[in-house]
Copies of this chain bind each other. A is one copy, B any other.
Amino acid sequence: MNDECNGGIETALDIIVGKWKPVILFHLMSNDTLRFSELQRAIPKITKKMLTAQLRELEYHNIVNRKVYAQIPPKVEYSITEYGKGLKPVLLPMHKWGYQHLQHLDQLYGDNRESELKVK
C-alpha cells in the first residue's frame, strides 16, 4: 500500500460500484450463464432500465459477456468473462470483510438494528 498511485482503487471501484452491480456479479458468478429475464427474476426489485444499464457497463469493461440469439422471441444470455473472473480475488475479501463487519455490529448492538443502519 506504500506504492504510489492509489488510483488503482478508484479504477476498481468505478467498475464494481453501482447500485446493482454487486448483486448481478454475485448471481452471474454462481450461475455461469443467465438470461435477462432470469436475472430479473433473481433480483425482483430491479427495473429493466437499471438491469440493462448495469449490464452494459459491466460489458463495456469486459467483465460480462452478452450473447444474443437471433430468434423470436429474443434470447440474451449473460455470463462472466474470463477476464471478469479475475475480480474474484477482489470481491471475495470484500464479501468476507463485509459479512464479518455485520457480525461485528450485531455483537456490539444486538441483532435488530436494520432501522438504525438505514437512518445512518
- How many chain copies? 2
A residues 18-67 with Cβ under 8 Å of B? 22-23, 26, 29-30, 60
A interface residues, how many (CB within 8 angstroms): 41
In the complex, whether A68 has a CB less than 8 A from a CB of chain B is no
In the complex the two chains form, is A17's CB within 8 Å of B15's CB?
no
In the complex the two chains form, is B6's CB within 8 Å of A95's CB?
yes
In the complex the two chains form, is A11's CB within 8 Å of B88's CB?
no
Most buried by B among A2, A26, A87: A26
In Å, the complex CA distance between A87 and B8 comes to 16
Interface string of A86-104 (1 = CB under 8 A from B): 1111111111111111101
